[in-house]
Structure 1
Amino acid sequence: MDTAGQPELPTDGTGFIETGSAYITLSKGFRSGGLSESPTADLEEFDPEEVVSAELGLKFDALDSRLRVNMALFDLQYDDRQLTTIVVSPQGRIAGATVNADKSSVRGLEIESTILPVDNLQITVNAAWYDGEIEKWEDVQLSLNTSGLVPGAGNDVAPVPSGPSCEISATVVENVGAVESCVIDRSDENLPRLPEKAFTVAAQYFFDTSVGTVIPRLQYSKKFEIDACFDRISCTSGDFLSDHEDLSARLTWVDRGQNWSVSAYVNNITEEDYVIGGQPLYDAWGFGGYVYAPPRMYGAEFSFNW
């Protein structure tokens, strides 16, 4: 464990904790802006994303260096966080576009631990809890007008089914017709692709042989309540909200000089079925398409280091 520049916890060598460190960090970062599609012929800019991060952490070794634990309690405050919404492109295609949510935050606790209960056996246990919020975000909700009404002709445009009450405006997009839009408040939605909590347990054993080391590994992970939606109605419907679960196995051989390695693996052994993405077009079309996790998959890897 690299503890350079970090204060060591006091210990006399006879307690539970043998060596360790605690730290506090405060930092500021950003992600650059760019250009995004819009329902007009123009490219629209999205702003840089800025984040202020505060973290309190603890690292220690214990039980005669057979236990290592890393813990971090953190708070992330975002300005102009870059999120994905749905637009109709100038070519008449439904497309994702990057926009900025004014205010959002993520708080959480992450724990990583490695245990060596007996020689050559390594067990990893990781856990994380997250609380993410969209605090302020005004987005534009789009719906294709199939009523045949012409914008600007004095006709009332029907509101988006199941959508929030808002003042509807409409424009004409080539090859599509009228596209209805309204500004809506999306600050009550989940942060996309952020699990509520996540757990991982893995075990691997190192068999030393005359021709190298053989390492079987078994891993189980589960992430709870991940939202893979984009537009307003798909995000509030819960149809794209799911738990992600995976049981995988790997068998690796490494030669004695640690230059060659060969691995065989299988992922999603139990063939869990859950949504990982799709086409959440509820606002625009009133329906959506789903992308599910890959089924059980086998594979092999080969590597050479020099």
Structure 2
Amino acid sequence: MRNVFKAAVPSTLAIVAALSAAPAFAQSAQPEAGAGSSGISEIVVTAEKRPSTEQKTPIAMTVISPEVLEKNSVSDLASIARIAPGVSFAAAGPATIISIRGVSSRDTSEIGDPAVSISIDGFNLQRALGLNTSMFDLERVEVLRGPQGTLLGRNATGGAINIISAKPKDEFAAYLGGEIGNYNTYNTKGMINVPVTDTLQVRAAFQTRDHNGYRNNAPSKDGDDDHSRAVRLHVLYTPTDRLSILATAEYAEQNGVGPVTNNIPLEYYTADNVPDGLLVGDIDLSAPSRGSGKTYAIAPGSFLKTRSWNYRTEINYDLGFANLTYQGGYRRLKVARRTLLGGAYGTTAQNLTFGQTEDLPSWNHELRLSSNGDGPLKWQFGGFFFQEKNDLNTQFQDYPDSDGIYGTPFVIQDYVYPDILSRAKALFGQVAYELTPGLTVEAGMRYSKDQKHRNGYKVTVPFSSYMTDRCDLTDTCVYTTTAQASSTKSSQPTYHAAINYQATPTNMVYAKFDTGYKAGGFTDIAEYKPEKVKSFEIGTKNRFLGNTLQVNLSAFYYDYTDQQVSQNVVLDDGTVGTIVRNAGKSRYKGAELDVLYQPTNVDRFNVYVGYVHARYVDFKASVSGQLARLATSQGRLDEDSNYVLDGFTPPQSPDWTFNLGYEHDFNVFGGKLTPGVQTHIETKSYFTFYNLELDEQKAYSRTDLTLSFSPDSAQWTVTAFVRNLEDRLILTSAQYPSATYGTYREQYAPPRTFGAGFTYNF
């Protein structure tokens, strides 16, 4: 814990300096209309696919209100991870990896599935690309912690993030806003809501985001930039009191250099520092000298372009005894990118490049019937269908004798997969019965069937032949064409059982058992099995002191079987590929304390403390070379040359996380001035399952300051912010060092940023 307290020192100083500062509350903390002098409001949620309130929903969850989203300029998933307790963010190139309670999936390939379900308005977003452009004009964001296998399905073994956009209303409303900041940040947003008739309402919204790269990558353009545009149109038609039809169209695009990797030249052990069991000339496995992480040279020419079109519909019909709901639609995502693979600048490997184009149409359909009424029995049943196709072409390329990655490349590997399919079907149901006033039992089941296939071919040249002999210069390269036809099917029932007791209108306890499932799949190297989890959780949700103190507690235990673990490996031809292994057993156990306190109308505190002890219990990884020597030195190499990783920590799983915040309203200048502070602290974690010093994220704190002012008329709001006050270098990726490229490869979260914004409400 020493590192935790050391990390907390600058945050504590920031809190003392700010004294009256405004946190990024994870839940609305505004008084209810007509309430007394103080009180924490309830937010209506749909975490269980029917309206309820957060405090009466027996799920460990965080609800982020529109006020908090606005105050913290939430515009992407990384922003959610910045303010939502128990959530962390990582990256694999441009792909987003979300972890909840230390559970994540690092397989971001075209076959991989996330471990955290992400949806917008009930529409499942399958791929880890293109997720960051829909976070605008939102009603709320629900973050559900723990497996949600019955109602949300196969890819919710870690939890779920439900993004709910703001819907049309029966009154005119509009706003325009903008934001400026360092790194030449210029963001805009706007919305107009028009009640066309008594039965027809329209809402249109847009967002643009522009900032230069956070890194100085000369001679390349600066990386980690953002240039995106998004627009959404809702049309709500309610011809009768029983029927409502919501049609939505959404378009988003993203451009720029895209995420960049710091390719740090490898260091090797010498006779003076080689550890016992390793050899002189082995790769140094200690943390590399990364400096500030803000300046490193890369070859010019990288780019990232995404385009997405989403058309979805929600239809609700009140049958009297029940409500019939359809949610679904069509989404098309196009991706084109070219990114460096990891060779250090100034070496013959500096232009080794990954090129990718994808065209992904997908369909979501869900139909469910939910009971109405206030009787003791509540139920819902439904069916779900998902299908995604993909036309994928990826290339491992080099641009020899060039200053950057432009011109005509030499293709070392060409993967052509015009026929990739992922299909999922499910039937589900859940019932709840109130045995006595306040005492309710629940039971649910989902049966899922999954199918995946990939057909095409690959054309390859031996990497070592190209790099050492430059066979391209003598026209002696030997090409090998290999047909690819892989497929897998899996199915699994998942279950839910719970007992909830609403002891008083403001005090509830619950205990529940859930199972979760993530479909199996394959890589170019081998197949992997489905991932399964059993979850046991108890919790309590409470309001005290006249509705001014909210205290929620939960404790959980996860029993994972065949947890899917992704890693990069060196293939026989010298290139780097991805393999997914199944860890035989993994165990997660932990507890959470989530507190909101509003002692007066103008003071609000929030405290979150989370503990997760995540460890592999039965996990062996086949190794050779230096990793085999390392395993031997640790007494962890078995007779089959497997590295026994029992007791190691899964990636992105810190033992302790803390969120601390405070805000205060000053009634000055004819309005409300609200300064605040929010601090996130976490203990060390790792980015690979080898738990090496070079992939360790040390304990750190990250503090955000905000300041907002609104006049009493509430027609406009001005805000100011500082994020990552400490200017901490925070890793989002650290891969096992690559002898192929001769580098350590790392990605980083944004450095300190600051700016100001203005919103005018019409």
Counterpart position of 1:295: 751
Q: 2:601 aligns with which of 106, 119, 129?
A: 119
| Pairing 1:30-109 to 2, within 5 Å after superposition | 30-38=517-525, 44-89=526-571, 92-109=574-591
Q: Give 2:179's aligned residue.
A: none
If each structure's helix is expressed as a fraction of its own residues, which one has the higher value?
A: 2
1:7 aligns with 2:466: no
> Contact 1:142–1:283 at 8 Å: present in 2 too?
no
Paired position in structure 1 for 2:736? 280
SS of residue matched to 1:163:
helix
Gaps of 5+ in 1: 11-17, 39-43, 145-158, 169-181
Alpha-carbon separation, structure 2, partners of 1:227 and 1:305: 45
Aligned residues: 264
> 2:723 maps to what in 1?
267
CA contact (8 A) 1:37 1:89 kept: no
Letter matched to residue 280 of structure 1: Y
* Residues 604 and 664, structure 2, Cα contact 8 Å, conserved in 1: yes
- Report deviation, 1:118: 2.2
Aligned to 2:698: 242
Q: Aligned pair 1:163/2:637, yes or no?
A: no
**C-alpha distance in 1 between matches for 2:507 and 2:751:** 42
How far the C-alpha of 1:51 sits from its partner, in A, is: 0.9
* AA of the residue aligned to 1:218: V
Are residues 284 and 9 of structure 1, via their aligned partners in 2, closer, same or farther at CA, if it must alter by over 3 Å?
A: farther
Checking the alignment, whether the CA contact within 8 Å between 2:659 and 2:681 is kept in structure 1 is: yes
Superimposed CA distance per residue, residues 43-74 of structure 1 (whole angstroms, 9 cap, x where no aligned partner): x2222211111110011111121100110011
Whole-angstrom distance in 1 between the partners of 2:630 and 2:618: 22
2:633 pairs with 1:139: no
CA contact (8 A) 1:143 1:283 kept: no
Amino acid aligned to 1:281: P
- Hey, what's the Cα distance between the residues in 2 that align with 1:285 and 1:67? 55
Give deviations 1:115-172, integer Å, cap 9, x for gaps. 112222211011011111101112122549xxxxxxxxxxxxxx8443334668xxxx
Number of the residue aligned with 2:296 = none
Cα 1:86/1:60, change in 2 over 3 Å: same
Q: Aligned pair in 2 of structure 1 residues 56, 93: CA closer, same or farther (>3 Å)?
A: same
Provide the alpha-carbon RMSD of the alignment.
3.4
CA distance in 2, matches of 1:258, 1:31: 47
Q: Matches of 2:756 and 2:565 in 1, distance apart? A: 36
Instruction: Give distance in 1, aligned partners of 2:629 and 2:707.
Output: 52
CA contact (8 A) 1:54 1:76 kept: yes
1:23 is matched with: 510
Q: 2: CA distance between counterparts of 1:193 and 1:255?
A: 43
Alpha-carbon distance in 1 for matches of 2:722, 2:619: 41
Unaligned runs of 5+ in 2: 1-41, 43-52, 58-439, 441-499
Distance 1:49-1:98 versus aligned 2 partners, 3 A rule:
same
| CA deviation after TM superposition for structure 1 residue 244, in Å | 3.0
1:227 aligns with 2:686: yes
Cα separation, partners in 2 of 1:255 and 1:120, compared to 1, 3 Å: same
How far apart are 1:264 and its partner, in Å?
Answer: 3.5
Q: How many Å apart are 1:257 and its aligned residue? A: 8.3
Residues 7 and 100 of structure 1: CA distance in aligned 2, closer, same or farther (over 3 Å): same
SS at match of 1:187: coil
Task: Tell me how far apart the structure 2 counterparts of residues 124 and 240 of structure 1 sit (CA, whole Å).
Answer: 29
- Give, in angstroms, the shift of residue 95 of structure 1: 4.0
Shift of residue 282, structure 1, vs aligned partner: 7.3
Q: CA deviation at 1:295?
A: 2.2
Say whether 1:217 aligns with 2:676: yes
SS in structure 1 of the partner of residue 699 of structure 2: strand
CA contact (8 A) 2:684 2:696 kept: no
Counterpart Cα distance in 2 of 1:192 and 1:134: 11
Instruction: Flag the 1:143–1:299 CA change in 2: closer, same or farther, 3 A.
Output: farther
> 2:519 is aligned with what amino acid?
S
Query: Equivalents in 2 of 1:254, 1:106: separation in Å?
Result: 44
Matched with 2:178 is none
Once residues 757 and 747 of structure 2 are traced to their aligned partners in structure 1, the CA distance between those partners, rounded to angstroms, is: 26
The C-alpha deviation readout for 1:199-241, integer Å capped at 9, x for no partner, is: 11111234567987554321111011211224x3xx2447524
2:649 alignment partner in structure 1: 190
Structure 1: which amino acid aligns with 2:702? D
> Aligned equivalents of 1:190 and 1:107: distance in 2?
12
CA distance, structure 2, for counterparts of residue 291 and residue 215 of structure 1 = 34
Question: What is the letter of the counterpart of residue 269 of structure 1?
Answer: L
Q: TM-score, normalised by structure 2?
A: 0.31
- Stretch of structure 1 that moved more, 107-116 or 250-259: 250-259
Change (3 A) 1:264 1:163: same
- Where 2:661 maps in the other structure, the secondary structure is strand
SS in 1 for 2:698: strand
C-alpha distance in 2 between matches for 1:263 and 1:78: 44
Contact 2:628 2:643 in 1 (8 A): no
- The letter for the 1-side match of 2:586 is S
Report the Cα distance in structure 2 between the residues aligned to 1:258 and 1:32, rounded to whole angstroms: 49
Task: Give the percent of matched residue pairs that are identical in Structure 1 and Structure 2.
Answer: 22
Q: Note the C-alpha offset of 1:84.
A: 2.0
Indicate if the aligned counterparts of 2:560 and 2:586 stay in contact, CA closer than 8 A: yes
Amino acid aligned to 1:78:
Y
| Preserved contact between residue 229 and residue 277 of structure 1 (Cα < 8 Å) | no
Q: Is the 8 A contact 1:82 1:99 kept in 2?
A: yes
Amino acid at match of 1:8: Q
Shift of the 119–109 alpha-carbon distance from structure 1 to 2, 3 Å rule, reads same
Instruction: Tell me if structure 1 keeps the 8 A contact 2:697–2:730.
Output: no
Separation in 2, partners of 1:211, 1:35:
63
